Amino acid sequence: MSNSFPLSRVVFLSALALVAGAALATTASAADWAEPKSPAIPAASGYVAIPGAAVPIRSDVVYRAVYDARLHADDPAQLIPAIDMAGSEMNALAVEGVPLTQAKFAIVFHAAGIDGILDNEHYKAKFGRDNPNLQVLTQLRKAGVELYVCGQNLAYDHVDPKILTPDVRVATDALIVLMTLENQGYALLSY
């Protein structure tokens, strides 16, 4: 007498296990999440409130972050990552009812991140389309976000500050700004 199942039973049980696993995966991935909301910076990624989150957003905290914007977007039709992430976090605070005055954010542009702050004429000449970052930069600045570009980067690459959006200010050096703000308690977020 054999201790093994007949082959047809093994195939049937394997198929049943695959169907059950697929059903569980579908159920798990089809959770009823709320739609992301973007009340503060509409063009940036939205925020989904997470009930009972392990580390909730608190309205009694001042959130300090400096975004190291050194990467460009993979697609020139998209926001550069640092701009989108800063906007997304502004949206998170707004959704959770935290006054935006409690967001002390700065973005420091250098390296490839400078592409995102080109004025529309120069962006269009380089990428063949309008700069999607400009409207968001204006919204961020109006919401109190400090916007800096590395003066050293501009000097070494012979970039005229006049071809950049007027929403950014030329700083002496990106790394000096990053160190200064980190010394003041800002979290460093690199994109």
Domain hosting 90: range is 63-190
Q: Indicate if 2 and 75 belong to the same structural domain.
A: no
For the chain, 191 residues long, give each residue's pLDDT as a single digit of tens. 445 545 454 444 444 455 555 544 444 455 789 999 999 999 999 999 999 999 999 999 999 999 999 999 999 999 999 999 999 999 999 999 999 999 999 999 999 999 999 999 999 999 999 999 999 999 999 999 999 999 999 999 999 999 999 999 999 999 999 999 999 999 999 99
Cβ contact 154:34 at 8 Å: no
CATH number at residue 154: 3.40.1260.10
Say whether pTM exceeds 0.85.
no
Give the tokens for residue 179.
């160190």
Which residues on adjacent β-strands are paired with residue 103?
63
Residue 52 in any domain: the answer is no
Are 25 and 69 within one domain? Answer: no
User: How far apart are alpha carbons 73 and 55 in whole angstroms?
Assistant: 29
89 and 139 housed in the same domain? yes
Buried b / exposed e over 129-150, threshold 16 CB at 10 Å, is eebbbbebbebbbebebbbbbb
85 located within any domain: yes
- Same domain? For 169 and 102 the reply is yes
